[in-house]
Amino acid sequence: MSAQDLSALLWRERELLELLLFKLEEEQLLLTAGKSRWLPHATREVEQVLERLREAGLGRTVAVSSLARDWAISDDATLRDLVAHAPAGPWADIFTAHLQGMTELTGQIRHLRDVNEQFLRAASRSTQETLAHLATEAGTYSASGLSDSNVSSARLVDKTL
């Protein structure tokens, strides 16, 4: 595989990372807007992009290994190794730019993932607290078959979450 082929694969992987970033931001918007109805769809889309990224990562690994052999580097070379051992010409700069772009996108994705996880934990905690307050105590029955529990207080449940 040529360096040009690897560069094309890296561009495709960067596009997938950008798509994942978009899907995570979309998920965050749903979380902050309280539109939990659409969260399963958003989560499924994130999982689909992650699967495509796994496939692209496997293709990149194979391409890097092939190019490493062509450049007389170890078969288990990484993209960083290719940058360090690139022959004279533009490839060291091109692969450095890919590496920096992917590293930057990965950092943004990690941050957004962590923020979304905090939103989900807060929503889960809020739901648990709401359900705990709704739980009524088990009442008993009188000899005439009427319930002893006097549930006369009104309850307000916010269904927007």
Write the DSSP symbol of residue 160. T
Please report, for residues 63, 134, 138, 153, 154, the alpha-carbon distance to residue 146 in angstroms, rounded to integers and kept in the order given. Answer: 76, 22, 13, 19, 21
Query: What's the whole-number average pLDDT of the chain?
Result: 87
CATH of domain 3-125: 1.20.58
pTM of structure: 0.75
Identify the weakest region by mean pLDDT among 25-34, 67-76, 93-102, 148-157.
Answer: 148-157
Q: Over the stretch 12-52, which tens digit does the pLDDT of each residue have?
A: 999 999 999 999 999 999 988 888 889 899 999 999 999 99
- CA separation for the pair 102, 79 (Å, rounded): 11
Query: Does the structure show a pLDDT above 90 at 122?
Result: no
Identify the weakest region by mean pLDDT among 40-49, 111-120, 125-134.
Answer: 125-134
Q: Structural domain boundaries of the chain?
A: 3-125
Query: Does the structure show a pLDDT above 60 at 98?
Result: yes
When pLDDT is cut at 50, 70 and 90, the band that residue 151 belongs to is: low
Residue-level pLDDT at 71: 93
Query: Does the structure show a pLDDT above 70 at 161?
Result: no
Helix 3-33 vs helix 91-134: crossing angle, to nearest 10: 20
Averaged pLDDT, 49-60: 96
- CA separation for the pair 73, 3 (Å, rounded): 14
Averaged pLDDT, 153-157: 64
